[in-house]
Amino acid sequence: MVRYRRNLLPGGTFFFTVTLDDRRSSALIDHVDKLRGAFRVARTERPFTIDAIVILPDHLHAIITLPDADADFSGRWRRIKSLFTRQLTASGVPVSRNHRGEFALWQRRFWEHTVRDDADFKRCADYIHFNPVRHRLVASPSDWPYSSLHRYIRTGVLPADWGGASEVSGSFGERGD
């Protein structure tokens, strides 16, 4: 049996890739209001900071910083996934079940990377913000509505034309990386 090892660093900053089980689904953007609601509830219950995020049809990427003395990012993802799934089913969206009778909306695990320093943070944030272009969803990162890039532009961290002619590379837990 494979043994998964997570870097449980209290107060750490982490990059995540979280994916739906059905990679053809568009549930995350079709029901983005419910996903945002799940994040809000989870953040109220167990605080964390969303430093950067992009929501794509079938997966999302996020950089999250945990509070000091807290390393439980798995519990937070479990709560976000559960809240989103419950909100979908309560609104009548059909969600299949697995052989154990559990909802099968999300992949069971997620990919995580501990952000090591400012350069690593920038690399991960750039990857997040460029991801909709990488997946050929838009021609320019600023054209994708479900991205923290808009906050970065609004606060002057990045220019409005950021990523227009560049490519961002790296291995971030996605197919093809």
pLDDT tens readout for residues 37-91: 999 999 999 999 999 999 999 999 999 999 999 999 999 999 999 999 999 999 9
| Catalytic entry in 4, 127, 146, 152 | 146
127 a catalytic residue: no
Whether 128 is covered by a domain: the verdict is no
Examine residue 51 and state whether it is found in any structural domain, yes or no: yes
Residue 175 resides in a domain: no
Residue with the bigger pLDDT between 96 and 12: it is: 12
Cα distances from 60 to residues 29, 68, 84, 112, 155, in angstroms, run 10, 25, 13, 12, 22
Q: Which of 11-25, 106-120, 160-174 has the lowest mean pLDDT?
A: 160-174
How many domains does the chain contain in total? Answer: 1
In a domain, 155, yes or no: no
Please provide residue 111's backbone torsions phi and psi, each rounded to the nearest 5 degrees: -105, 135
Residue 166, pLDDT above cutoff 80? no
Range of the domain at 26: 13-117
**Count of residues for the chain?**
177
Residue 111: strand, helix, or coil:
strand
